[in-house]
Amino acid sequence: MVNPLSAENDLPLFSQFKPEHIEPAIKELINANRKTIEQLLADNKIYTWENLVFPLENLTDTLQEKWGFVKHLNAVRDTPEWRKEHDRVMLKVTDFFVELRQHPELYQAMLSIQSSPEFAKLSMNQKKVIENYLRDFKLSGISLDKDKKEQFKALLEKLSENKNKFSQNVLDATDNWFLLITEESKLKGLPTHTLHKAKEEAEKKGQTGWRLTLDFPCYHAMISYADNRELRKEVYQAYTTLASDQSLEKNWDNGSLMVEQLKIKHAIAELLGYGSYAEYSLVKKMLKTPKEVMNFLNELIVPVKTKALQDVQLLEQFAAKKYGLDKIEPWDTRYLTEKLLEQQYNFSEEELRYYFPESHVINGLFEIANKLFKITIKEVKNFDAWHECVKLYEMFDEKQQLLGRFYMDLYARPHKRSGAWCGTCKNRIEKLDSSLQTPIAYIVANFRPRIAEEKEALLSHDEIITLFHEFGHCLHFISSKMIYPSISPDHGVSWDAIELPSQLMENWCWEEEALQLISKHIESSKPLPLDLISKLKSSKNFLIGLAMIRQLEFSVFDFELHLQSNIQNYLTIQKIIDKVRENTMVIPIPTFNRFQNTFSHIFAGSYAAGYYSYLWSEVLSADTYNFFKEKSQVFDQTVAQRYMHTILEPGGSKEFMDLYLEFRGRPPKVKALLQDWGL
Ligand SMILES: [Zn+2]
């Protein structure tokens, strides 16, 4: 029988993939790839694009693709058996890619193409692919001696194991925690759907009462709406001590993994002659030096902190007057923010949900994408998925040519990694037989699922922003015209610019015309009324200082952490965050808080020394959105088309600053972001 993971299908047959398929499929591919590479190198005296780079691009893509399926299922449907096989095979994949980038003959062959007269005849994109390979050879230690190369490889292996373990600990610690409440009075203030869900969860476990969990929709509801201050404190404490020495369960403490990981990263940077991991990571970013990054962050701190302090004052006055509180604690801020928002603008996030049934929001989003970018999106029925709630869509350009497809898996459930992301399922690539494979993406989120009495899930405005954000990534990925994965948006775009397309899309969530397209009340069928729209719009920057000072704290902490050369133990990490907080803290943070132990972006994802990318990309997106506004209307097609052609379509084919200059005619302005925040 054919291994379904090895089989070539238009769409992967997720339901047929079994843990025992992983190793044989991946091993076979790796072996075949190794053999082909040796053949490519043996057969050729004069290396060319056609006889080396093009086949190489294809064979690495096949492995990335199959391994991608395995990783994807590990993130959205984590079972012990799947995890075990994933972990076992992961290192083989890491090894293959390190060997590839440390392969001396391959490097020489690639160099020989670059210095041959043929090179000039290659297209700009082909040249860029070769340049990227050469850069990656250097960043993987091609010039190191044999021993050091081995060291480098061992470090990368350890790093991928470490990151994987970190994120498993977060998932397990989250899944393990629950709080069973038997007195309904303790749950006052919580939205009805949260109560229903909590009751369903308890019933599923054969318990009576309400089972509260730390998956994001439940946590968010408790911290934002529970009137019971003690309950808020309890969940805050549980959430901010997950996977740490401070949590009741010590099984998943990430502390020592974090220390080990920082040491590994520093050793990697040092081997390659960089002073810190931060410096090493900037080689592929838009901002080029640690000083540039810190200057950028420092430029924001003063105005943002000033605003944050005003925000706190506002909350304090409100808390004293309404609740007789003489002090605000971190488990009060979300709650008070919601209550103050309700008082000032006379609406609540929860009330807005009734205007946002899933299907209408999604159709509205597609219509907005159509108005701007002339793309059409259609749902596909009857396909193989990893969960019953997954949907699949096709995206077409204005000539009705298929651009690509994407899955949507939007709702929280056990054994699914938290957060939201857009991932690659298949790349756009020119295949060896010259056919073109169109891309496929995954949009994954952890929204509040539909409860029994709802026809479909109702989204909050925050969830809609997340949906637009991930759709922005998806659009970038699918509309890129690049046919070589090395210069696709995923691999070729500077990490600190990667959030531009996603954050740009968020802007439309606040526009009247767009809000009317995505809203339809579940009973009256009416769109969001104008007065609610204007209230929602005027609340956009409500307490923005408080929100943004947190983003700054995360960004500075991450960057400082990766600038260090001497992380001795966990205490050093704690000291760094404490030091950062001297500049960013506006409400005292309790000593038990270990948010860093679940900071998966930097310890499990790709944002190490790059969390600032969110803020930097926000500069780019605010500056880009101003371009629309300068044209006096936010659906301006000329700007949208220009953005499509100069930013999205070229993917990673050029330095991002060059793309941006082409689009905007000048470099980005930090002022645009401060203006957007109303500062
Ligand atoms: Zn993003």
Distance 613 CA to ligand 1 centre (A): 10
Task: Report residue 320 as tokens.
Answer: 């004293």
d(CA 361, CA 359) in angstroms, rounded, equals 6
Q: What is the pLDDT of residue 649?
A: 97
Distance 473 CA to ligand 1 centre (A): 7
Asked if 97 and 33 count as a contact pair (C-beta separation under 8 A), the reply is no
Q: Tell me whether residue 470 is one of the annotated catalytic residues.
A: yes
pLDDT given at position 631: 80
**Ligand 1 centre distance from Cα of residue 611 (Å):** 11
Report which residue type is found at 24: P
CA of 204 to the centre of ligand 1 (A): 34
d(CA 88, CA 79): 14
How are beta strands 440-447 and 402-411 bridged, if at all? parallel
Distance from Cα 466 to the centre of ligand 1, integer Å: 9
304 CA from centroid of ligand 1 (Å)? 22
Q: What is the C-alpha to C-alpha distance for residues 298 and 311, in angstroms, rounded to an integer?
A: 20
At the topology level, CATH places domain 255-346+544-611 in: Neurolysin; domain 3 (1.10.1370)
CATH 1.20.1050.40 domain extents, the chain: 14-101+103-139
Q: CA dist 301 to 297, 305, 540, 581, 589, Å? A: 6, 6, 20, 12, 18
Say if residue 439 is exposed, middle or buried (CB neighbours under 10 Å; 0-12, 13-18, 19+): buried
User: Does residue 377 contact residue 369 with C-beta atoms inside 8 Å?
Assistant: yes
Distance from the alpha carbon of residue 24 to the mean position of ligand 1, in angstroms: 34
Listed in order, the ranges of the chain carrying CATH 1.10.1370.10 are: 255-346+544-611
Express each pLDDT in 464-478 by its tens digit.
999 999 999 999 999
pLDDT tens digits, residue range 152-201? Answer: 999 999 999 999 999 999 999 999 999 999 999 999 999 998 999 999 99
- List 470, 499, 553, 618, catalytic entry: 470
Whole-number pLDDT of residue 44? 65
pLDDT of amino acid 289: 96
CA distance 561 to 612: 13
Q: Are 536 and 352 in contact (CB under 8 A)?
A: yes
8 A C-beta contact, residue 459 and residue 447 = yes
**Which CATH class name applies to 358-540+614-676?**
mainly alpha
CA of 468 to the centre of ligand 1 (A): 10
Structure tokens that stand for 416 in this block: 């699914």
pLDDT at res. 329: 97
* Residue 206 Cα to ligand 1 middle (Å): 38
With a cut of 70, list the residues of the chain below it in pLDDT: 44
Ligand 1 centre from 4 Cα, in Å?
Answer: 31
Give span(s): CATH 1.10.1370.40, the chain. Answer: 358-540+614-676
Global pTM? 0.93
Domain 14-101+103-139 has CATH 1.20.1050.40: yes
